[in-house]
Structures are given as structure tokens and as C-alpha cells.
Structure 1
């Protein structure tokens, strides 16, 4: 294959790919439907023209019949008046009218089947257009449903443009959160080790350690004192029994 042939094939392939990407099935179906409607309108115009010709031929045939009848009447009147010359002229006129009618009838006989064919073609074309319209609406609905399903699936899976960076954003946010937590733990550990100080506390590390030791010793002393106080407190005695009345007092009464 020559270089020009390969270039032509490559250009044809690229063009087809571009057209397939730009082509919308809905627009293609609507365009086909419009073309079919245009064809139907043209068929109707042709049928109307042929029917008009049919009506014109029928009218001319009627005029020819009337002309033939009139020429026959004129010939009879001329014969009754012993005017053979006038009768002959009327008969010549009649024959011309008969020939004209024959020609008109031949044209009418030829056009009648065309009218029937055009009417049948129009009916079949209308039926085909109606079926195509139903198929078109069904295909457009199916395409719309499939397109919506693809968009929803892309949104759920992150394949589409709208949610394509959600996964990366979440990973970056998680990395920042973990880094911040590690930093907080490190600073807390440094504060516990005394390497980081509270800027509002002017005490040295030794003073802070001694203060904590004093606080611990004070709490321990208070705890021991509390325990000692509880041990020194006597237990509550049981309530005293009600004194009984002596027998002597009973006897005296």
C-alpha cells in the first residue's frame, strides 16, 4: 500500500472515530424521523398532483361527451333541413370530439393505476413511520436510562469527573490527620520530659519537680491522717433497751 493510501486510511479512521464521539443517538434518530416525514410529505404532494390531473381528465372527457352529443344534434337538424353540407361539417366535428375523448380516456386509464400505487405507498409509508416513531421513542428512553445508569455508576465508583478526586482527597486528609496526631503526641511527650515548658510558668524544671514532690507528699500525709482519724473514732453503740418496770413498783400499785 502506498503512503498516500495509508494516510487516507488513517484520516478516514480518525474521522470516523471523531464522528462517533460527536454523534448523539437521539439526534440521529430524530434526523431519520424528520427525513421520513419529509418523504411522506413529498409523496402526498405527488399524489395530490396526480389526483388533480385525474380530475382534469375527467372534466375534459365530460366536455368531450357533451361536444359529441351536440355535434350529433346539429347533424340531425341539418339533415332535417336538407343541408347535407352542414350535416357533414357537424359529423366531422363530432368525429374530432370522439378522437379527443379517446385520447383523454387513454390518459385517464394510464393515470388511474398510478394513483392507486401512490395511495398504497403513502399508506405503507405512514405505517412504517408510525412503527419507527414507536421504536425511536423506545430507543431514546432506553438510551436515557442507560446513560443515567452510567452516570450514577461513575459517581458511585469515582470514575466520573465529579467524584474522580474524592478518594485522593480523603487519603490526603487522613495523612494530615495522622501527621497532626503524631505531632500532638510528640509535643505531649516533650512536655512530660520537661523539654517543652509552659510560657506562663517561670519555674525551672527542678522547681517544678520539687513542687510535684511536695504535692505528692502532702496528699500522702493527708491520706494517712484520714485513715488515722477513722481508726480513732469509736463505733456507734447499739440503741439502749427500754427499762422494765420492777416487780416492786407493780406490787405497790
Structure 2
């Protein structure tokens, strides 16, 4: 502190702040903050985007801090300049009053203020340069973040579409397997139906030929198939004997065998 004036913020402290912001920018651009999670890519992208927004916020805050420091120095310069002007006026008045000693003291204090003005001006100019550089870097970073956001949304949309297609494919595959099983079941049912139909047809043939009795026939008809076969056999034997004897085959209704089988007598016509 010189002559009771406001203290000047150390340049080293402000440079340390600027270096910290610059280092974080370099780390961001070098990709040290990229996500390496192997989870859902959409969540990884969103997480990375949030970190980039956080980094952008910190950079903007750093730029604001530098801007605030520069403006504080400008205010201090204004006050110092006013103090220097006031001391100059005091020196002039002292000379006019013949008080060279007071004039010398005022000019000495004014020279010290001028040194401070020069020092703070250099600091302000350095901060202005750094502010411009950080502002440019922040603008570039924001452009990168916005580009990443657009690409992120595109990748997420494509991933979601691919995921839906995969699920549909899996569903279709499962349905194909299920339809294959159903087809096999239908084929077995059809084969079983054909088998049962063939068996039913064979049973009908056996019933029609008399090998099996029809349990659905009316009472009294049981055993008629065997009786009919016996009757046919006797008739054929009689006709064969008549042929061998050179006789005319008698009418079926008049053969003794038929009358014997049926248990009745034929009346002469």
C-alpha cells in the first residue's frame, strides 16, 4: 500500500486463476473427461454432455471473474487518476501561495500515484488480453458442446431405432420357433386323424363283411352274418352237384338245402 491508497491485487494471484482455467480447458479439449462407462450408450452420452456443460459453465465463470477483476482495476485507475489530478491542483495552489514546501509534497505524492497508475494499467491490459483469449476459448468450447449435443441426439435416435429393430427381430425369431412347434403339432394331429379315419374305415369294412358284429344292429339280427355265409355255401354246393349230374340248376328258392336252412317249405307254383 502506498500513501494510504487502495491496495492493488497481486498479479501472481490473478495469473494463477487464469492458469487454472486454461489447464481445465486443455484437459477438456484433450479428452481427459470423456466417459468410459460401458453401460447404455445413451446414458453415457448424456452424462458426457452434462460434464461438458459443467465445464463450459466453469469456463464462463472464470471469464466473468477475469472481467470483474479488470473492471475493478479500471475503477481503481479512475480513482487514482482523480487523486493525481487533485494533487496537481494542490501543487499549483501551493506555488501560487508561495508555499513551495507544500507544492513539493503534493508533487511527490502525485509521482507515487503515477507509479501506481502505471502498474495497475499494465495489470489491466494483461487481464484484458487474457479475458479476450478466454472469451474466444469459451466460445469455441460452446460451439463444440453444441455440436456434441446435436451428434449425441442423432446417435441416441439411431441407437434407439436399432434397439427397436433388434427387439422386433428377436420377437419374430421367437414367433418363428413357436410357429414351427405349432406346425409340428398340427402335422401330428393331421397324421393322427388320418390314422383314426383309416381305422374307422377298416372297422366298417369288417362289420360289412360280417367278421365283426354291428353292436348298433336291432335285436335279433346278431349272428345273421354267419348264417348267411352258411346258406350261401350250401347253395353253391348244390348248384355244383347239379352241374356235374347234367341237370339244370334248380331255382334257388326251390332247393332243398335252402328250405332246410330257412326251415320252411316251398309251395308249387
Q: Give the TM-score normalised by structure 1.
A: 0.64
Q: Gaps (5+ residues) in structure 2?
A: 1-36, 229-269
Aligned-CA RMSD value: 2.8
Q: Which residue of 1 aligns with 2:59?
A: 43
- 2:169 matched to 1:153? yes
Q: Which residue of 1 aligns with 2:160?
A: 144
SS at match of 1:165: helix
Q: Structure 1 34/205 Cα, relative in aligned 2: closer, same or farther at 3 Å?
A: farther
Among candidates 206, 218, 222, match of residue 193 of structure 1:
206
Among candidates 175, 179, 185, match of residue 188 of structure 2:
175
- 2:66 matched to 1:66? no
Q: Structure 1 58/207 Cα, relative in aligned 2: closer, same or farther at 3 Å?
A: farther
Q: Which residue of 1 aligns with 2:92?
A: 76
8 A contact 2:213–2:223 mirrored in 1: no
Aligned length: 188
Counterpart-to-counterpart distance in 1, 2:87 and 2:186: 109
Q: Gaps (5+ residues) in structure 1?
A: 1-18, 212-253
Counterpart-to-counterpart distance in 2, 1:193 and 1:36: 90
- 2:31 matched to 1:31? no
Q: Which residue of 1 aligns with 2:137?
A: 121
Question: How far has the Cα of 1:107 moved from its partner?
Answer: 1.0
Q: Structure 1 105/150 Cα, relative in aligned 2: closer, same or farther at 3 Å?
A: same
Q: Which residue of 2 aligns with 1:165?
A: 178
Q: Where in structure 1 do 4 or more consecutive aligned residues deviate above 6 Å?
A: 195-199, 208-211
Counterpart-to-counterpart distance in 2, 1:130 and 1:205: 99
Counterpart-to-counterpart distance in 1, 2:103 and 2:213: 146
Q: Structure 1 196/111 Cα, relative in aligned 2: closer, same or farther at 3 Å?
A: farther
- 2:95 matched to 1:90? no
Q: Which residue of 2 aligns with 1:219?
A: none
Counterpart-to-counterpart distance in 2, 1:96 and 1:198: 139
